[in-house]
Amino acid sequence: MVARSEESRQAILKSTLKLLGVGARRGTTIQKLTIEAIAKQAGVSKSTIYRWWDNKAAVVIDAFVSEYLTHTPVREDVPFEVALREHVAAVVHQYAGLDGKLVAQLIAEAQYDPAAMQEFHERFWLGRRAAVEALIRRGIDEGVVRSDAEPGMLANLAYAPIYLRLLLHDGPLDAKFAGEIVELALHGIGLRSNALEGSSAG
C-alpha cells in the first residue's frame, strides 16, 4: 500500500512537470494549470492529490523542487568557495531555462495569493536559503569568510541578483553573470586596503 501511494505521488509530480512543459516543447502556464488536469494526466482522482497537497501551488512547488534540487546541489565535499561558485553557477544555469520561467510564475502568482506565498516559502525558499547559510557558516569555520558576517544576509546577497535579473529581464543569466555574483558576495564593494592607504597618503 505504501509503495502504491508513493507511486501515485510520483506520478502526480511527473504529470505536473509534463503539463508545465518540462521535457516538452511547450506546456501550460501555472495560472492555467488545474488540479483536474493534473489528476487526469496522472491517472488519479482529485481526492488523491488533496491527500498530500492543499492547493495547486503546493503541487507545483513540490514538482519543481523534485526537478530543481538535483541540478543545483550545495556540495559538502569541496572547499567553501568551490561549493559556492558551483551552486551559484548551477542556479543561474537552471533559471536561464524552464525552471526560471516556473519560478517567475510562482512568484507572480504568490503576489496575490497568500497561500501560494506561504507554500513557496515553506516548501522551497527557506530550505534553499538555509542550505546556503550553512555553507557560509562553513566558510567562516574555514577562515575564508569574515567571522562577523551574518550568514542570512550573505545568502540573500548571493541570491538577490539572480532573482532580480530573472524577474526584470535586465540581462542574460549566464556563466559570466554567475561569476560576477560570487565575486561581489566574497569581496563586497569596499575599496582594497592598499587603495585606502594610497588615498590617505595623498
Q: Please write the tens of the pLDDT for every residue from 138-172.
A: 999 999 998 888 999 989 989 999 999 999 999 99
What is the distance between the alpha carbons of residues 178 and 87, in angstroms, rounded to a whole number?
A: 9
Query: What whole-number distance in Å separates Cα of residue 42 and Cα of residue 183?
Result: 44
Q: How far is CA 85 from CA 82, 111, 132, 138, in A?
A: 5, 30, 11, 14
Question: Is the per-residue pLDDT at 40 higher than 50?
Answer: yes
Report which of 95, 115, 102 is spatially closest to residue 61, judged by C-alpha positions.
Answer: 102
Q: What is the reported pLDDT for 191?
A: 56
In the chain, pLDDT over 70 holds for what percent of residues? 90
Record the pTM: 0.83
Which DSSP state fits 192?
P
* Vertex 109 angle, CA 105 and 113, to 5°: 160
Structure confidence at residue 1 as a pLDDT band (50, 70, 90) = very low
Q: Is the pLDDT of residue 93 over 70?
A: yes
Take residue 115 and report the three cell numbers written for it.
497561500
Where is pLDDT greater, at 68 or 189? 68
Q: Which residues contact 42 (CB under 8 A, 6 or more apart)?
A: 8, 11, 12, 14, 15, 49
Rg value, the chain, Cα: 20
Residue 199: pLDDT over 70: no
